[in-house]
Amino acid sequence: MVPGNYVSLICAWHVSYSSENIEKILSPKQIAVWNYLQKVDEAAPAEISKHAKVARPTVNQVLDKLFRLKKIERLGLGRTTRYRKI
């Protein structure tokens, strides 16, 4: 069981963290991926990797992070998965 104060602290941290300017919490490679996603309607990970000049495993990690931050949405599943900015 999690103490009530701990839950309040986590909730307050999440709210302040997610409301920060996205560029302040991303690394330069992550920003390259984010900037590319802002320029296109939607993109596949391979396309993002090619145009942002970021390695594919890094792109996957960045996409997962941006998805958790609710900055992008996934379209499709498996090999046909594409992403777009919310």
CATH hierarchy code of domain 22-85: 1.10.10.10
Output the pLDDT for position 5: 52
CB atoms within 10 A of CB 22: 13
| Inter-residue contact 59 to 23 (CB < 8 Å) | no
What is the pLDDT at residue 18? Answer: 46
**Interatomic CA distance for residues 46 and 81, integer angstroms:** 10
What does the pLDDT read at residue 4?
Answer: 53
Per-residue pLDDT of the chain (86 residues; tens, 9 = 90+): 555 555 444 444 444 344 358 888 899 999 999 999 999 999 999 999 999 999 999 999 999 999 999 999 999 999 999 999 99
| Helix, strand and coil in the chain, % to nearest 5 | 65, 10, 25
